[in-house]
């Protein structure tokens, strides 16, 4: 059904000449129109383009990123923009339907900029992999974020040579700050080997791989399950009482935190939110929070958790 709607909208857009689009500086503001699918893409684009573009985020702040379906209006926005930036993972599979009908659409697929890792499940202590399921949360590794920003900048410089110098400068200034934070994480996390317990989903595989960290989580990736089995609860409860476990129960933004709270109450431990940056709450969005500021929040949170362990 959904595919048919997409095709119909693309057909209309084509007839209306929207795809010839990428019309220089199409928007009413006279600026480049950049459309992004998810928050990290949005944040990277607004830092790269500065005042040279209007950047639109399709996924509304506070919305569950894995159940998003584009509206007809969203599809028209994508088809008429100067550059479209999307992730290319599980939660924006809809993009492929649009791209099939739009040869001339300029786009960057973020997953092309880094090496993807297969999703893994460690909820019962046994590491298992979902075949051919790549974990899509690539930006959670600061090193990957830098690679993605560079890749967007390179494509944009080729497409819009007039602003190449300025966007390259913007891009360097943002990646420098992310790299500085990356070094701080390295320093903080390079100590003794410890386990982090997530009473929640686990969209942080890339972050944990980058810093060589161990974890146990109730659900892999951004699994939509929220009711853990008794076996999983028992396993995580056991892990929390072991010596090499960080004495904080971790959870993820925009989840109900129920399991994390239950585990924390049982052990008399604090809970702490690790922000995956997949999406952002409406409050954080209006407060102007960025990928960098959310990752800084993660840094402070981890520092406190490690100090208390």
Residues that bind Zn ion (CB under 5 A): 203, 222, 278
Closest CB to Zn ion belongs to which residue? 222
Give min distance, CB of 273 to Zn ion, in A: 15
Give min distance, CB of 274 to Zn ion, in A: 12
33 close to 52: Cβ distance less than 8 angstroms? no
Comparing CB distances to Zn ion, the nearer of 19 and 86 is 86
278 close to 65: Cβ distance less than 8 angstroms? yes
Helix orientation angle between 39-49 and 142-159, rounded to the nearest 10 degrees: 50
134 close to 115: Cβ distance less than 8 angstroms? no
Tokens coding 192 = 């003794």
Give min distance, CB of 37 to Zn ion, in A: 12
Comparing CB distances to Zn ion, the nearer of 52 and 278 is 278
Quick one: CA dihedral 199, 201, 205, 207, positive or negative?
A: negative
Within the chain, strands assigned E span 32-36, 53-57, 83-86, 107-109, 118-121, 128-134, 195-198, 214-217, 245-252, 271-274
Give min distance, CB of 249 to Zn ion, in A: 20
Comparing CB distances to Zn ion, the nearer of 27 and 61 is 61
Comparing CB distances to Zn ion, the nearer of 91 and 171 is 91
Give min distance, CB of 133 to Zn ion, in A: 13
- Distance (Å, rounded) from C-alpha 46 to C-alpha 36? 10
Give min distance, CB of 93 to Zn ion, in A: 13
Give min distance, CB of 222 to Zn ion, in A: 3
Comparing CB distances to Zn ion, the nearer of 10 and 222 is 222
Give min distance, CB of 225 to Zn ion, in A: 13
Comparing CB distances to Zn ion, the nearer of 140 and 153 is 140
- Percent of the chain that is helix, strand, coil (3-state, to 5): 50, 15, 35
Residue 44 CB-half CA count within 13 A: 32
Comparing CB distances to Zn ion, the nearer of 40 and 203 is 203
Comparing CB distances to Zn ion, the nearer of 80 and 203 is 203
38 close to 91: Cβ distance less than 8 angstroms? yes
């Amino acid at each position: 059904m959904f595919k048919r709607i997409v095709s119909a909208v693309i057909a209309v857009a084509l007839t209306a000449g929207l795809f010839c689009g990428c019309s220089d500086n199409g928007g009413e503001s006279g600026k480049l129109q950049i459309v992004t699918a998810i928050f990290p893409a949005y944040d990277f684009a607004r830092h790269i383009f500065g005042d040279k573009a209007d950047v639109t985020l399709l996924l509304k702040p506070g919305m569950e990123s894995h159940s998003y379906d584009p509206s007809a209006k969203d599809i028209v926005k994508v088809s008429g923009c100067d550059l479209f930036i999307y992730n290319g993972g599980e939660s924006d599979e809809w993009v492929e339907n649009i791209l099939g009908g739009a040869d001339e659409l300029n786009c960057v697929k973020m997953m092309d900029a880094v090496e993807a890792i297969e999703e893994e499940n460690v909820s019962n202590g046994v590491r298992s992999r979902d075949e051919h399921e790549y974990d899509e949360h690539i930006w959670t590794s600061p090193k990957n974020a830098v690679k993605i920003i560079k890749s967007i900048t390179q494509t944009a410089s080729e497409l819009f040579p007039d602003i190449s110098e300025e966007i390259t400068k913007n891009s360097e200034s943002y990646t420098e700050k992310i790299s500085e934070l990356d070094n701080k994480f390295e320093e903080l996390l390079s100590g003794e080997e410890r386990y982090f317990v997530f009473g929640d989903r686990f969209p942080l595989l890339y972050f944990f791989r980058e810093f060589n960290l161990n974890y146990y989580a109730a659900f892999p990736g951004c699994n939509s399950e929220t009711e853990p089995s008794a076996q999983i609860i028992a396993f995580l409860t056991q892990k929390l009482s072991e010596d090499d476990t960080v004495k904080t129960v971790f959870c993820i933004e925009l989840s109900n935190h129920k399991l994390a709270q239950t585990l924390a109450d049982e052990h008399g431990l604090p809970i702490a939110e690790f922000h995956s940056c997949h999406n952002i709450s409406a409050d954080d969005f209006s407060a102007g929070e960025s990928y960098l500021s959310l990752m800084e929040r993660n840094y402070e949170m981890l520092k406190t958790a490690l100090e208390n362990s």
